[in-house]
Amino acid sequence: MKHYNLPHNHGQNINHVLEKMPEVDDFAIVARIFNQLGDGTRLRILWLLCHSTECVSNIGAAIDMSTAAVSHHLQVLKKHGLIVSRREGKEIYYTLADTKITNLLHKAIDDLFEVSCPTHDDKKDA
């Protein structure tokens, strides 16, 4: 058991909590993800890609932004592993990556905006 040299004892067993604390590098990774969500445009794009697979021009039209600006945001989201892309002919399609983190983000985004996932609603109607 690692000993933490804490300056005060407040009667709580903080050592038990500290034993489970993630590494500093893990916090840095999560902070970079949260930084991506701190940009309203990227959050709008991410919301859209949680619920659909789209090309750059459709994303730009949907959020009233140039394809160059959308491309920049998509590259940032892709670099951080939040979205993935696939090419079909000349078009590149983007969607949410299928990871534990992105699945949690999808749920959190839907909960924060108090909406149900349109994709899940469509499945209920079928």
Count of CA atoms in the C-beta half-sphere (13 A) of 17: 4
Mean pLDDT of 87-101: 95
The rounded mean pLDDT for the chain is 86
Question: In this predicted structure, what is the pLDDT of residue 38?
Answer: 86
- Terminal-to-terminal C-alpha distance of the chain: 55
Nearest CA among 113, 122, 123 for reference residue 47: 113
More confident: 98 or 38: 98
- Would you place residue 112 in the very low, low, confident or very high pLDDT band (cuts 50, 70, 90)? confident
pTM of structure: 0.74
> Cα-flanking dihedrals φ and ψ of residue 76, to 5°?
-65, -45
What is the DSSP secondary structure assignment for residue 18, as one 8-state letter?
Answer: H
| Architecture of the CATH domain 24-125 | Orthogonal Bundle (1.10)
Which residues neighbour 60 within 8 Å (Cβ) at sequence distance 6 or greater? Answer: 66, 67, 69, 70
Q: Please write the tens of the pLDDT for every residue from 7-53.
A: 777 767 777 778 888 888 988 888 888 888 888 999 999 999 999 99
Question: In this predicted structure, what is the pLDDT of residue 2?
Answer: 61
Range list of β-strands (E), 2-121: 54-55, 83-88, 91-96
Question: In this predicted structure, what is the pLDDT of residue 82?
Answer: 94
Q: Domain map of the chain by residue range?
A: 24-125
